[in-house]
């Protein structure tokens, strides 16, 4: 069974309060999601492998460590995952970036995939799949499946807010994928929205409603 890591650092919890607030406008919402993605990336990448290297300090040679940015891939589920990409790239600027277009059918709540463009050498990369919302879990499970079908092996999922149902779905379908979230909320409502959640992440990021 995969690990569920709730990243409850005070800075993240503080910013999440304003992300949830319905009075927060799109500009502030985008900035806050970007900041929280950076803060979460710190924890999500905690176990990345380091390589030995050497630099010369002003005093002399120093044996030290380096993360090979080439070994990381960040994949966003469109649209809302886009809001988390830059925040991660601030810490790992050389990571390769992929996109999977998935929307949730409003009637059936089933994920519909419409686009997929991923780094070619997925098999060797540590993949961080990002989407702010893990509701039924259908979109995330489909995104993980799409990555696996194209060769991805080492995948972790990073979301802002999850419902217990979504965590369960991903753990059942992809027990090898660890899940990192800032909060686990109560439940889903009859329209499949997380309660209390933050509303529609894509619409709030891009001002479409």
Q: Which residues are catalytic?
A: 104, 108, 200, 203
Contact 84, 29 (CB under 8 A): no
* Unique residue bearing structure tokens 């995104």: 143
| Closer to ligand PRP by Cβ: residue 55 or 114 | 114
> Cβ 29 to ligand URA, closest distance in Å?
12
155 interacts with, out of ligand URA, ligand PRP, none, CB within 5 to 8 A per kind: none
> Cβ 66 to ligand PRP, closest distance in Å?
34
Q: What is the C-alpha to C-alpha distance for residues 208 and 54, in angstroms, rounded to an integer?
A: 49
Distances 117 to 8, 72, 77, 100, 112 between C-alpha atoms, Å: 32, 16, 11, 6, 15
What residues between 93 and 112 interact with ligand PRP by CB under 6 A?
102-104, 109, 111
Q: Does 30 bind ligand PRP (CB under 6 A)?
A: no
Nearest-10 crossing angle of helices 164-173, 138-149: 30
| Closer to ligand URA by Cβ: residue 122 or 158 | 158
Residue span 73-102 as binding mask against ligand URA, x where in contact by CB under 6 A, dash where not: -------x----------------------
Exposure string over 140-165, b if 16+ CB within 10 A, otherwise e: bbbbbbbbbeeebebbbbbbbbbbeb
* Unique residue bearing structure tokens 């050389």: 94
Q: Which two tokens stand for residue 73?
A: 């891939």
Stretch that binds ligand URA, among 17-25, 60-68, 69-77, 196-204 (CB under 6 A): 196-204
**Total residues contacting ligand PRP (rule CB under 6 A)?**
24
Binding site for ligand URA (CB under 6 A): 80, 133, 135, 192-194, 197, 200-202
Residue numbers at the binding site for ligand PRP (CB under 6 A): 77-80, 102-104, 109, 111, 131-140, 166, 192, 200-202
């Amino acid at each position: 069974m995969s690990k569920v890591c709730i990243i409850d650092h005070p800075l993240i919890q503080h910013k999440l309060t304003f992300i949830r607030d319905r009075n927060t406008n799109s500009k502030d919402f985008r900035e806050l999601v970007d900041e929280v993605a950076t803060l979460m990336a710190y924890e999500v990448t905690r176990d990345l492998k380091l390589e030995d290297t050497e630099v010369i300090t002003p005093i002399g040679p120093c044996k030290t460590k380096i993360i090979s940015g080439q070994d990381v891939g960040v994949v966003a589920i469109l649209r809302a995952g886009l809001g988390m990409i830059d925040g991660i790239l601030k810490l790992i600027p050389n990571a390769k970036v992929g996109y999977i277009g998935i929307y949730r059918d409003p009637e059936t709540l089933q994920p519909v995939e419409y686009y997929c463009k991923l780094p070619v050498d997925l098999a060797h990369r540590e993949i961080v799949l990002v989407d702010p919302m893990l509701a039924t879990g259908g979109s995330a499970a489909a995104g993980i499946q799409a990555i696996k079908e194209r060769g991805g092996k080492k995948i972790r999922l990073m979301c802002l807010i999850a419902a217990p149902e979504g965590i369960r779905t991903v753990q059942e379908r992809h027990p090898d994928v660890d899940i990192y979230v800032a909060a686990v909320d109560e439940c889903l409502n009859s329209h499949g929205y997380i309660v209390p959640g933050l509303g529609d992440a894509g619409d709030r990021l891009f001002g479409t409603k």
